[in-house]
Structure 1
Amino acid sequence: MGDNLESHTSSAPQPPLTGPIERIDDPRAPIEHSLDLPVSRTRAYDAYVLGLPEWWPRGLTASGSGFDRIDLDPHPGHRIVEHARDGSEIVWGEVLEAEPGARFSHTFGLSHDGDPSRVTIVFADLPHGGTRVLLQHHGWNESNLAGRAKHTDWSQLLERYAAYATHV
């Protein structure tokens, strides 16, 4: 799978992909995952974007046991913000792209120092129904590369997302 997720939005038949797609030779390589869901692109998109506050595990927040909520306004330029019960706010990132049913992209700086990385999710029709969800966590550079290893839990996160998307 290449760096360009645009090439994966066609409706041409593709073999099913699941799980991580690793590029071991480059420490700056994007972290990439793919999963197939038995739901429409609109439902898959809405579950990821609008449902993120529901399916994101509380244990993977900055507030931990003091977690209150996540606010995500799905429009470019708006922030993704975690709110703690003590009133503090932790900015996770900023929405960069939002094409309902097709693509969502945001910066991400929750658990690493340096420049924010970027998470891009593409939703593509499968030939016989359902949606292929392609996630790419990229934008690694010298300032944030030390934090890349903290982002090995996308498989578990996407399992929670998939369960939510198929049962809402």
Structure 2
Amino acid sequence: AFRVFTDAMGSWWPLEGFSEGEKPVDVRLEPRVGGRLYEVGEDGSESDWGEIRAWDPPTRVMFSWHPGHAADRSTEVEVTFAPERSGTRVDLEHRGWEVYGEEAAEMRGEYVEGWEFVLSQYVEKANAA
């Protein structure tokens, strides 16, 4: 589950509607603290989405999150992976909304809906792996 989330992010991330560029072709994550999380465009351009803050395979990855915004407007996403009898429990916590001030509640609401769809794509890929 951890490897599908981190190594194969571009294979399950829904680029249409969940990216910054006009013609995105991939999402990549550099597997180390300080590594980049970024989108790659059809023309080879790169757009940073965040930076890896914690890298603890196979149980946890945490990264700053700022697609479409400057790094000083980053929130934080932590994803944990815990074994269960039927597979792996995956929890995602998105925090740090205070950087958006009055817009925080609205942005958080939009992301709740967005993460539900994004994670449904991840679950499909993980179940097929």
TM-score class normalised by the smaller sequence: 0.7 to 0.9
- What is the percent sequence identity of the aligned residues? 28
Letter in 2 for 1:118: E
* Residue pair 2:15, 2:26 contacting (<8 A) in 1 also: no
SS at the partner of 1:124? strand
Is 1:154 equivalent to 2:115 in the alignment? yes
Is 1:86 equivalent to 2:47 in the alignment? no
Aligned to 1:27: none
Letter in 2 for 1:82: E
Letter in 1 for 2:21: S
Q: Structure 2 unaligned runs (5+)?
A: none
Where do 1:64-143 residues align within 5 Å?
A: 64=22, 66-111=23-68, 115-126=73-84, 128-143=85-100
Alignment partners' CA distance in 2, 1:142 and 1:167: 37
Structure 1 runs of 4+ with >4 Å offset: 111-114
SS at the partner of 2:97? coil
Q: For CA contacts below 8 A with separation 6 or more, give which structure has more relative contact order.
A: 1
Matched residues, number: 123
Letter in 2 for 1:164: K
CA positional deviation for 1:63: 1.4
Is 1:62 equivalent to 2:20 in the alignment? yes
1:147/1:102 Cα in 2 relative to 1: closer, same or farther (>3 Å)? same
* Residue pair 2:77, 2:94 contacting (<8 A) in 1 also: yes
* Residue pair 2:13, 2:27 contacting (<8 A) in 1 also: no
Q: Structure 1 unaligned runs (5+)?
A: 1-43
Alignment partners' CA distance in 2, 1:131 and 1:142: 32
Greater share of helix residues, 1 or 2?
A: 2
CA positional deviation for 1:153: 1.3
**Which is greater in Rg?**
1
* Residue pair 2:75, 2:99 contacting (<8 A) in 1 also: no
